[in-house]
């Protein structure tokens, strides 16, 4: 049975609303020898989420990145609805134009750019509410730079039906090409990142219903790069939560301290963004970090979990039935 949301009805303006909490978390579930000693931390992440879920304090929806290993894939097994992203053998299904021939010709064998994909996308969507539709695709085979090419990175969209809401909410997650850790020059990793953003745009054009609310959350790898962030902002609809919540009049409680205050959206790889649907308005009301404190003497991942609570509001015809 689906989780029962806590609907709030306002009889004065004829609306119903519900708060939806979405967490994005890069769990660093990389296999040996890329990373060593991750099993214990991944088990701790799994346990922490299970504890929160049992107490009713877990996010309604969790999206994971770098869940490559079996231990990482078991994180969030308590969620009744799970969607796994592209496997290592999957190929792109979008109609995006391929990356340029010069880029393809300069692929390096030593940096992994000419090797087969040895890891999946590492993406998961976990939900307390039913997943009623999906669309996904890895990036095209050559749309990567450096060591990132060893994973079949991509993007996926899950349509999730909150009981009582007039339409599903669409949740997209992705993990895009890294910068310095890719092992190649900045301009090459930037070209791959831009190509991946374009392919995400193609997937959205095919897999997103513009009448339904849309939330995107993932590891966009845009930290300290206006080039990367600005190109993503041109492709993705709506606005990033960190930009929205920087406005003191937005009514968003930002529980994340900015390092420099000027552009907090450039201080992190992990972002969320949103756009309302035709019948459902979406507005962030709180943004915070989770899993940033050590557990059993260790930091659980090289990323914090980034959690946003959205308030979804819609008009209702029958107030008695809605309540």
Closest to 306 (Cα-Cα) out of 173, 160, 121, 165: 173
What does the pLDDT read at residue 187? 96
Q: For the residues 205-227, what does the mean pLDDT come to?
A: 96
**CA angle, corner 240, sides to 238 and 243, nearest 5?**
115
In our burial notation (b when 16+ CB lie closer than 10 A, e otherwise), range 77-99 reads ebbebbbbbbeeebebebebeeb
The C-alpha atoms of residue 283 and residue 193 are separated, in whole angstroms, by 28
C-beta of residue 215 within 8 angstroms of C-beta of residue 253 = no
Which pLDDT band, with edges at 50, 70 and 90, does 320 fall under? Answer: low
Q: What is the residue extent of each domain of the chain?
A: 8-322
The C-alpha atoms of residue 239 and residue 74 are separated, in whole angstroms, by 32
> What is the enclosing helix (H) or strand (E) of 61?
strand 61-67
Q: Which residue has the higher pLDDT, 285 or 266?
A: 285
What does the pLDDT read at residue 143? 97
Per-residue pLDDT reduced to its tens digit, 36-94:
778 999 999 999 999 999 999 999 999 999 999 999 999 999 999 999 999 999 999 99
In CATH terms, 8-322 corresponds, of 2.102.10.10, 3.60.10.10, 1.10.10.10, 3.10.129.10, to 3.60.10.10
Closest to 139 (Cα-Cα) out of 217, 77, 201, 83: 201
The separation between CA 95 and the C-alpha centre of its own chain, rounded to angstroms, equals 22
Per-residue pLDDT reduced to its tens digit, 123-182:
999 999 999 999 999 999 999 999 999 999 999 999 999 999 999 999 999 999 998 889
Tell me how far apart the terminal alpha carbons of the chain are, to the nearest angstrom. Answer: 20
61: β partners: 22, 127
Cα dihedral angle (222, 128, 275, 211), rounded to 10 degrees?
A: 140
- Count of Cβ atoms closer than 10 Å to residue 68 Cβ: 24
The C-alpha atoms of residue 109 and residue 115 are separated, in whole angstroms, by 7
User: What Rg do the C-alpha atoms of the chain give, in angstroms?
Assistant: 19
The C-alpha atoms of residue 114 and residue 210 are separated, in whole angstroms, by 37
- Residue 3 confidence (pLDDT) above 80: yes
């Amino acid at each position: 049975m689906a989780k029962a949301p806590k609907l709030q009805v306002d009889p004065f303006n004829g609306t119903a609303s519900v708060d939806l909490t979405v967490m994005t978390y890069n769990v660093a579930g990389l296999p040996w020898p890329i990373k060593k000693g991750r099993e214990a931390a991944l088990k701790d992440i799994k346990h922490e989420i299970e504890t929160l879920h049992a107490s009713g304090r877990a996010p309604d929806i969790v999206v994971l990145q770098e869940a490559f290993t079996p231990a990482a894939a078991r994180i969030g097994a308590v969620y009744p609805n799970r969607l796994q992203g592209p496997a290592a053998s999957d190929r792109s299904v979008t109609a995006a134009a391929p990356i340029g021939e010069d880029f393809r010709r300069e692929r390096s064998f030593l940096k992994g750019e000419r090797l087969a994909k040895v890891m999946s996308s590492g993406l998961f969507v976990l939900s307390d509410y039913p997943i009623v539709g999906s669309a996904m695709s890895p990036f095209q085979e050559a749309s990567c730079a450096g060591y990132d090419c060893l994973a079949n990175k991509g993007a996926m969209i899950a349509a999730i039906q909150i009981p009582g809401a007039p339409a599903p909410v669409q949740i997209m997650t992705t993990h895009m090409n890294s910068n310095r850790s890719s092992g190649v020059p900045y301009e090459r990793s930037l070209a791959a990142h831009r190509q991946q953003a374009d392919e995400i745009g193609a997937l959205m054009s095919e897999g997103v219903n513009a009448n339904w609310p849309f939330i995107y959350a993932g590891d966009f790898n845009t930290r300290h790069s206006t080039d990367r962030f600005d190109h993503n902002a041109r492709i993705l609809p709506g606005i990033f939560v960190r930009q929205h919540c920087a406005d003191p009049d937005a009514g968003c409680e930002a529980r994340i301290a900015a390092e420099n205050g000027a552009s907090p959206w450039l201080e992190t790889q992990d972002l969320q963004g949103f756009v309302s649907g035709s019948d459902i308005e979406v507005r962030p009301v709180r943004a915070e970090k989770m899993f940033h404190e050590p557990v059993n003497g260790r930091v659980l991942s090289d990323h914090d979990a980034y959690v946003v609570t959205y308030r979804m509001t819609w008009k209702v015809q029958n107030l008695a039935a809605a309540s």
